[in-house]
Amino acid sequence: RARGGGGEPRWPPDETNTPIADAHGVIHHVTLSFLEQKDEVVGRGKEMATKVAIAVDALVFGQVYEEVFADAKRLCAADDKILNGKVTSFFENLSRERYEDILRDVSEPAVEALRYVSTKCHTAPDKLAMCVKALEYIDGNRGLNGDELLTRFIQHVIVMMRGPGEVVCIDEALHADLRMIEEFCQDDILCLGKEGYAMAIFQSGLMFLKSIPGESYGVEIWDFG
């Protein structure tokens, strides 16, 4: 990856001069410049290097987040439009009684955490950390297995996308959030522990939602009769 550790970005952009590509370059340059000046950091191992990388992300994205996220939204616009349309279709055909039943079985803190992924988190590690927090709220110390947690995650994503108002008005960019995470989280963060698990749940959840019609969400996700 573009941190000096070798490898290529997970999803390289088609163009070479885009905000995403530029951000990779800036992060790479700033990280290397810091490590070259601070030999003691290099000697303290991967944990310290990871902390440096996260700090550099915060520094860089504090300046360029809006431009980079707009680029991610552009690249993922087709997928997000399809998903938003399916969720809209589901809610437009859902009775108030069914919706109230759904709301009784969701964690409001989890819904808020998922909403914060886009609205409050301006670095990829922060977005991934918020996904972890949402899953912890969803699980609620019940020890849900993988299939149960995935189903509950999908349910909470759909509720989050509808929003709190009476009118169905969906304009989410979850695929863009996912792309930001995959582009800018370090591989060792993505592949280990609860962050890696959250990443897999996020990916699988969006893939499932794309794979079936919105009209089938009730049967496939909530087992409506």
Residue 56 and residue 34 in contact, taking contact as beta carbons nearer than 8 Å: yes
For the entire predicted model, the pTM comes to 0.78
Confidence band, pLDDT 50/70/90 cuts, at residue 42: low
For residue 15, what are the CA distances in angstroms to 181, 204, 212? 19, 27, 31
CB of 175 within 8 A of CB of 79?
Answer: yes
For 162-178, the pLDDT digits (tens) are: 876 655 567 789 999 99
Give the tens place of pLDDT for each residue, 14-37.
555 677 777 766 666 566 665 565
What pLDDT is stored for residue 92 in this prediction?
86
Q: Which residue intervals of 76-186 are DSSP H helices?
A: 77-92, 96-103, 108-119, 124-139, 146-162, 174-184
The count of residues in the chain is: 225
pLDDT category of residue 185 using cuts at 50, 70 and 90: confident
Name the DSSP class of 10.
S
Q: Closest Cα partner for 214 from 146, 183, 168?
A: 168
pLDDT for the residue numbered 84: 92
CB 49 within 8 A of CB 41: yes
Coil vs helix vs strand at 12: coil
Rounded to whole angstroms, how far apart are CA atoms 99 and 103? Answer: 6
The candidate with the shortest Cα–Cα distance to 111, out of 147, 157, 177, is 157
Average pLDDT of every residue of the chain = 81
Supply the pLDDT for residue 173. 92
Which pLDDT value is given to residue 125? 86
| AA letter at 193 | G
